[in-house]
Amino acid sequence: MQDTDLEVCLLLTLSLVTLGKEDLLHWYNPKTRSVENVSAPLGDEEALGILRGDLDSDAFITEYKRLRDDGMGVEQALIFVGHGFRLWHLRYQPIG
């Protein structure tokens, strides 16, 4: 299994790790294009704040809102946004 496959498998587990009293979200951050652990957002405003600040933020936020409207929880929607854009980023990498 390649590292990329492993990262995708980890993302699909919808990780919400509890360490002590702090909930950490393990996800692919589409702004930094890296997998990271961050404090789990307490609501939509915090989640949207995580997604803001990038040229593609409108796309991230639109997808997040669509997922939330479909009934997903805050953390799950954020993870799915990251996963979807991870696949998109991999698809459009230069070959060679």
Whether the CB-CB separation of 29 and 11 falls below 8 Å is answered with no
45 assigned to some structural domain: yes
20 assigned to some structural domain: yes
16-19 vs 34-39, strand pairing mode: unpaired
96 assigned to some structural domain: no
What pLDDT shows up at residue 5? 47
The structure tokens 């294009």 sit at 33
Q: Give the span between the Cα atoms of 81 and 57, in whole angstroms.
A: 11
pTM of the model: 0.72
Q: Give the span between the Cα atoms of 52 and 82, in whole angstroms.
A: 13
Q: Which two tokens stand for residue 7?
A: 């990262």
Whether the CB-CB separation of 74 and 68 falls below 8 Å is answered with yes
Q: Which domain holds residue 32?
A: 3-91
pLDDT tens for each residue of the chain, 96 residues long: 445 544 544 444 444 444 455 688 999 999 998 999 999 999 999 999 999 999 999 999 999 999 999 999 999 999 999 999 888 767 766 666
39 assigned to some structural domain: yes
Number of domains into which the chain is organized = 1
